[in-house]
Amino acid sequence: MPSALEETLDTVTDLLASYLGEGHQCREYELIRWLQEPAQAIFQPNALSDTMMLFRANFIVMHCLYRLRQRWLDEQRGYLTISSLEVGLQPISEASANQLPGEHDPLADYYLNLSHLDTDEASVEALLNDFWRRMVVPEQNDEDFATLQLQPPTDAHTLRQQYRRLANQHHPDKGGDSEQFRKITAAYQRLKYAF
Per residue in 109-165, pLDDT tens? 999 999 999 999 999 888 887 777 676 555 678 888 999 999 888 888 999 999 999
pLDDT tens-place string over residues 9-24? 999 999 999 999 998 9
Q: Which of 76-85, 141-150, 164-173, 184-193 is predicted least confidently?
A: 184-193
Average pLDDT over residues 45-69: 90
Task: Write down the pTM of the prediction.
Answer: 0.67
Looking from the CA of 24 toward its CB, the CA atoms found within 13 Å total 14
Give yes or no for a contact between 174 and 164, defined as CB atoms under 8 angstroms apart: no
Instruction: Please give the Cα distance from 1 to 182 (Å, whole number).
Output: 54
Any idea how long the chain is?
195
Looking from the CA of 48 toward its CB, the CA atoms found within 13 Å total 12
Beta-carbon count within 10 A of 195 CB: 13
Q: Give the pLDDT confidence score for residue 139 in this predicted structure.
A: 61
Q: From residue 2, give the alpha-carbon distance in Å to each of 11, 37, 90, 131, 177.
A: 12, 25, 31, 35, 58
pLDDT over threshold 80, residue 99? no
Share of the chain above pLDDT 90, in %: 42
Q: Give the pLDDT confidence score for residue 101 in this predicted structure.
A: 56
Give 96's pLDDT tier (boundaries 50, 70, 90): low
Q: Give the pLDDT confidence score for residue 1 in this predicted structure.
A: 61
pLDDT over threshold 80, residue 100? no
Average pLDDT over residues 172-179: 86
